[in-house]
Structure 1
Amino acid sequence: MTPFALRLKSPLTKQPITILQVNLGKRCNLACTHCHVEASPLRTEEMSDRIVDRVIQLIHTFPQIHTVDLTGGAPELLNGFKPILAAAVATGKQAIVRSNLTIYFVPGYADIPAYCAQNKARIVASLPCYLADNVDKMRGKGTFDASIKALQWLNRLGYGSDPNLQIDLVYNPPIPTSTDFRLTPDRIALERDYKAFLKADFDICFNQLLPITNLPIGRTKFQLEHHQLYQPYLQFLESHHNPETVSHLMCRNQLSIDYLGNIYDCDFNQMANLPSLTPTGELLTIDRLLAAGTLDAIGKVQTQDYCYGCTAGSGSSCGGALV
């Protein structure tokens, strides 16, 4: 393989930071087979009160942030979820909540849908397929039915119909078990199929479908290695590298913060333990950003060969296709 950094015509540099993605921890009520975070009910990692306060300080200090993206684990389960979301709303930023939907039925969390609606949070919800069998294989038995009930709940609150209440769904392809690798399907056609099926069978509406490529990190990597497909899958992604995606990569205008307050270029680098560096090679933390008085302290994005997953075909990011 050609290393990803060498495939680029110039270094992958940071642009002004506008998106703050906050990973509140790794505890989740599910343990999905494709989870790059390796989240599960057995994980205990979550953000401390001190780091929550520092994240809130960051949100209030830098008006250049226009989006605060909350993820996990299941972010709704984790310490800091409501205070950080409230800080984003209070400062006029868009709040994104990345939800597995089933969390609403865990005792103690039934208030989350209404809370998100009251704060006009955009919900990005995982529904890796519109067929029950495929979803349950990836996310656990009964997950599809719970997700459908959650989407109907959100629709009753106005999500999908009120222009201020956006609900987007995330599609993930099945993890390959043979060398019959495929890129994510055409977004427009797949979104049309999702909308037609969910409307006809469950009277569900949503705004957008976000197809996201499975990057070979976390449980996806383990499963690929189990089938001896890790290197062939990387080579497949490299062979479909699309240079037009590079200028749109999410890592360029985003910071990813982990539950300890460390800074990364993106959530994938965070899970691969590849931290952001200053131009002088220092590791970045939320405390150092606040002390420096700038979010734009990174010169070059840290890359690895799994980055080909974000540039293959139409590209992939936390916001779906790039081109």
Structure 2
Amino acid sequence: MVQQLECSFQKSKITPFAEKLENPLSKQKISTLQINLGKRCNLACSHCHVDASPKRTEELSPEICQQLIAIIQKFPQIKVVDLTGGAPEMLHGFRPIVEAARETGKEVIVRSNLTIYFETGFRDIPEYCARHQVRVVASLPCYLEDNVDKMRGNGVYEKSIQALQWLNKLGYGHDPSLMLDLVYNPPLPTSEKFSLAPPQEDLEQDYKKFLKEHFDISFDNLLTITNLPIGRSKFHLEKYQLHQKYLGFLEQNFNPDTVDNLMCRNELSIDYLGNVYDCDFNQMENIPAKSTLNQKLTVTDLLKADNLDVIQEVKTANYCYGCTAGAGSSCGGALT
């Protein structure tokens, strides 16, 4: 892997993230609807902030699915429908939401673990995604086998490579209408030598060179994402007594230039119960979005209001330093 920026950091008192900002983090016009379809997954990755696994059963209900389709059809301001999980492809509502979004001309993103393609009942997913021109954003936290399998489980790297080759044969990574992006996560630390992701453009070239030379794989973009200290990442940090020190490291690397581009500012994150959050991380930490009347919101409320822009200020927490450290981090990769 590319050499990473490392830092040993001792600070224990964290400045509340809201105090680091010059002004409250304001919500902008909503253009992205990110939907977490549930927590069921065929994998149980060590860095998963959703705490998804094959043992989880939570997923979207038919009622909430219909409400989400109504929102997708009702609001042309939504440009992107971003589907996550769990493994979104195996959860209720995946196909109906994909089709409703594509029928209304919206871009659809599916955040895939790639290995789902080899599970019984889901082997048509690559062809389905290609047919509907779904943008595939696939987790591949390293281009080396050992690193991937340590984070995601034995055999995951081999299946991921096979899945990427499968997608390439369908046109992904070659056809501009079939976008294929990969996601890099730094390894979880076991000491105080913390690191941010390497520069996204440089690491992308390393990924492309290695995957092309060894497996004849092509893809469009590499997205570097910081491990936020929530979910299993937080449990891991606490195990090594690193949680507060890691937060301090992220605060030390706070970059104010990232704030204008934060994904939470123009998206709504919806959970499988229909509750509304500013982002997927707040969803996992159960920090709901609030209306201008300081009320929690659901998809039912959005439909009744006939308005998606009912949130004035984004709710923040100290893990927001993860999105604003260094070059920044978002579901779309680096921010600067």
The normalised TM-score by structure 2 is 0.96
Q: Which residue of 248, 259, 276 maps to 2:261?
A: 248
Give the corresponding residue for 1:169: 182
Counterparts of 1:11 and 1:142 in 2: how far apart (Å)? 45
Structure 2 gaps, min length 5: 1-13
Q: Which residue of 229, 236, 254 maps to 2:242?
A: 229
Counterparts of 2:323 and 2:100 in 1: how far apart (Å)? 30
Give the corresponding residue for 1:322: 335
Give the corresponding residue for 1:192: 205
What is the root-mean-square deviation of aligned Cα atoms in Å?
A: 0.4
> Displaced runs of 4+ in structure 1, greater than 2 A?
none
What is the aligned length? 323
Q: Does the residue aligned with 2:161 lie in a helix, a strand or coil?
A: helix
Structure 1 gaps, min length 5: none
Structure 1 residue 111: deviation in Å?
0.6
Taking the TM superposition and a 5 Å limit, the aligned residue runs for 1:283-294 are 283-294=296-307
Give the corresponding residue for 1:180: 193
Give the corresponding residue for 2:63: 50
Counterparts of 1:251 and 1:187 in 2: how far apart (Å)? 21
Q: Deviations over 1:40-96 (max 9, x none)?
A: 000000000000000000000100000000000000000000000001100000000
Counterparts of 2:305 and 2:188 in 1: how far apart (Å)? 42
Q: Name the amino acid aligned to 2:90.
A: L
Q: Deviations over 1:76-134 (max 9, x none)?
A: 00000000000110000000010000000001101100000000010000000000000
Give the corresponding residue for 1:299: 312
The normalised TM-score by structure 1 is 1.00
Counterparts of 1:23 and 1:86 in 2: how far apart (Å)? 17
Counterparts of 2:244 and 2:127 in 1: how far apart (Å)? 45
Counterparts of 1:163 and 1:294 in 2: how far apart (Å)? 33
Q: Name the amino acid aligned to 1:47.
A: L
Counterparts of 1:187 and 1:128 in 2: how far apart (Å)? 13
Give the corresponding residue for 2:34: 21
Q: Does the residue aligned with 1:219 lie in a helix, a strand or coil?
A: helix
Q: Name the amino acid aligned to 1:150.
A: A
Taking the TM superposition and a 5 Å limit, the aligned residue runs for 1:1-323 are 1-323=14-336
Counterparts of 2:117 and 2:15 in 1: how far apart (Å)? 44
Structure 1 residue 166: deviation in Å?
0.3
Q: Does the residue aligned with 1:181 lie in a helix, a strand or coil?
A: strand
Structure 1 residue 188: deviation in Å?
1.0
Q: Name the amino acid aligned to 1:204.
A: I
Counterparts of 2:15 and 2:110 in 1: how far apart (Å)? 36
Q: Deviations over 1:162-219 (max 9, x none)?
A: 0100000000000111000111101111001000000000000000000000000000
Structure 1 residue 279: deviation in Å?
1.5
Counterparts of 2:176 and 2:330 in 1: how far apart (Å)? 23
Structure 1 residue 272: deviation in Å?
0.5
Structure 1 residue 280: deviation in Å?
1.4
Counterparts of 1:240 and 1:167 in 2: how far apart (Å)? 30
Instruction: Give the % identical residues.
Output: 65
Counterparts of 2:114 and 2:331 in 1: how far apart (Å)? 17
Q: Name the amino acid aligned to 2:89.
A: E
Counterparts of 1:61 and 1:256 in 2: how far apart (Å)? 17
Q: Deviations over 1:237-285 (max 9, x none)?
A: 0000000000000000000000000000000000010000012110000
